[in-house]
Amino acid sequence: MNAETGAVLFDHQSDVSKYPASTTKVATALYALKLKGDALDQLIVAEQDSLASMSQDAKRKANYSVSAYWLEPDGMHIGIKNGEVLSLHTLLKGMLIPSGNDAANVIAQALGPTIPTFMEELNAYLKEIGCQNTFFCNPHGLHVPQHQSTAYDLAVIAREALKYPVFCQIVSQARFDRPKTNKQGAYTFLQTNRLIRPGTFYYSKAIGVKTGYHAKAKKTFIGAARSDGRTLIVVLLGYDDRSAMFEDATKLFETAFNQPKIQRIYLKEGAQKFALDLPKGDAQLRTYLSEPLSLEYYQAEDPQAKCLLYWEPLTPPILKDQQVAELHLISAKGDLLKRTPLLATEEIGLAWPHNWVAAFASLHNVFLGIGVLIMVGILFLFWRRQG
């Protein structure tokens, strides 16, 4: 997906519901940033309810009737303790870089002000931004049967998150230096996204975003990369092999970045077929374009644009080269891609008898003006004599 336009370059089963695992945390971060903006210095005290845990096997035996947000002892965490004080910014880093499930819960608890409330509002927000097949039961992505999304929806979520500079800054970091707190000392965690970290899978164009894993979801990944001012998003779900997943992400990015741009000319410059018979006009209004109406796009991002014509409110006389209409290129999704003015080829005057009526009205106005000036002069002279 193109992060700027939302255009889908390539997809395979992108609307099939899957378990997203920790790619869920991109949505949690997005909603937290929507609520708090750049005010990330807020200090948050971790509560025990957000740190409670139960094994995956115990959850399964309970038929997942326990709280969907409970952690799992063998799940990824950054070791948050009950009563520990951390800033929202630190928690976002701990959630997104090393994938701390506990950090996700603490964020949701603080902003909710309960985790179920946070999830209810998050799901409503995801529908607002265009996610049609997503329902999240918890803020971290640990397995619950109803906790599902699609590759397309996850790309939509990532596209929104990438609009926040602080999100981009966090997910592009190769490590997370957990600061000393009131409960424990500093510690360093590595980035789980191997496209960001130096090593076998390092990809210089990568700028984020998030990995995921649990047994049911297998390996999952949302990646973003930028080249020549163009940002692309890749979503891969259900991989058995993490190495293959990172390799495929890089291949998809490189294939897209190496595509040439296409220039399509919809209308050539010069005379156009668009014409209009104006009431009271002495000739048909004919039009031209001063430059071609064209669009540049990458081969895989053809917007399937159509051209729409919008006339200006027009009454003669019309001047030569006057803008008389506007042409819009509209994508298949309804987005305005480009607009250009349509100009009058020649002057259009008033036809008989409308030109005589206009001339008489103009002459009448002149005589009326002269009469008013004479009357003012007479009154002025009268006033002077009386004085």
* Stretch 53-62: mean pLDDT: 95
Q: What is the pLDDT of residues 129-149, one digit of tens each?
A: 999 999 999 999 999 999 999
Same domain assignment for residues 100 and 224: yes
Say yes or no: 297 and 180 in one domain: no
- Structural domain for 91, as ranges: 21-258
- pLDDT of residue 54 exceeding 80: yes
Q: Which of these three, 258, 277, 308, is where a domain ends?
A: 258
Mean predicted lDDT score pLDDT of the chain:
92
Q: Could you tell me if residue 4 is inside a domain? A: no
Among residues 258, 284, 319, the one where a domain terminates is 258
CATH number, domain at 161? 3.40.710.10
> Same structural domain for residues 251 and 364?
no
Query: Are 237 and 337 in the same domain?
Result: no
CATH number at residue 321: 2.60.410.10
351 belongs to a structural domain: no
pLDDT digit string, tens, across residues 359-380: 454 555 555 566 666 776 676 6
Whether residue 197 is predicted with pLDDT greater than 70 in this model: the reply is: yes
Same domain for 156 and 230?
A: yes
> What integer pLDDT is reported at residue 335 of this predicted model?
86
Query: How many domains does the chain divide into?
Result: 3
Q: Within this chain, do residues 166 and 295 fall inside the same structural domain, yes or no?
A: no
Average pLDDT over residues 237-242: 97
pLDDT bracket for residue 358 (50, 70, 90): very low
Q: What is the pLDDT of residue 373?
A: 67
> Does the residue 350 lie in any domain?
no
pLDDT in tens, 309-344: 999 999 899 999 999 999 999 998 888 999 999 999
Three-state SS string over the chain comes to: CECCCCCCCCCCCCCCCECCHHHHHHHHHHHHHHHHCCCCCCEEECCHHHCCECCHHHHHHCCCCCCCCCECCCCCCCCCCCCCEEEHHHHHHHHHCCCCHHHHHHHHHHHCCCHHHHHHHHHHHHHHCCCCCCECCCCCCCCCCCCEECHHHHHHHHHHHCCCHHHHHHHCCCEEEECCCCCCCCEEEECCCCCCCCCCCCCCCEEEEEEEEECCCEEEEEEEEEECCEEEEEEEEEECCHHHHHHHHHHHHHHHHCCCEEEEEEECCEEEEEEECCCCECCCEEEEECCCEEEEEEHHHCCCCEEEEEECCCCCCECCCCEEEEEEEECCCCCEEEEEEEEECCCECECCCHHHHHHHHHHHHHHHHHHHHHHHHHHHHHHHHHC
In a domain, 128, yes or no: yes
CB 327 within 8 A of CB 308: yes
How much of the chain, in percent, has pLDDT values that exceed 90?
81
